Amino acid sequence: MLVLFIAVVFSGAALQLAFKKYPFLTDIVNVIDSDKIYPKVDINKATAQELVVVPYIGEYTANNIVEYRRKNGPFKSLEQIKNVKGIRDKNYLHFSKYLFIK
């Protein structure tokens, strides 16, 4: 038990020192806060079923996005999605990080 405790304290101190001395290590280790792990969906290719899986997008919004795309053609920028019925700035802020355009 004591050996384990000392090992944890020692490793913790070493990590603390390493993260302070080499800040780039923090970026490498910090996967949870990184936007690289966001599951991104191509807004111009995704079907309504695929859009529903995106956090903060419900069935209603997903159908509206597909309908907008059908009427107006593919989205040219991500911001254009705000023109879709039912999407406001607040919603956009929440789910824009899960979308991309190829």
Give the footprint of another protein on this chain (CB under 8 A).
Answer: 1, 5, 8-9, 11-13, 15-16, 19, 29-33, 37-39, 49, 52-53, 55-56, 58-59, 90-91, 94, 98
CA distance 15 to 49: 43
CB of 71 vs another protein, minimal distance in Å? 23
Residues of the chain by 3-state class (helix, strand, coil), percent to 5 = 65, 5, 30
CB nearer to another protein: pick between 18 and 76 = 18
CA distance 7 to 50: 46
CB nearer to another protein: pick between 47 and 72 = 47
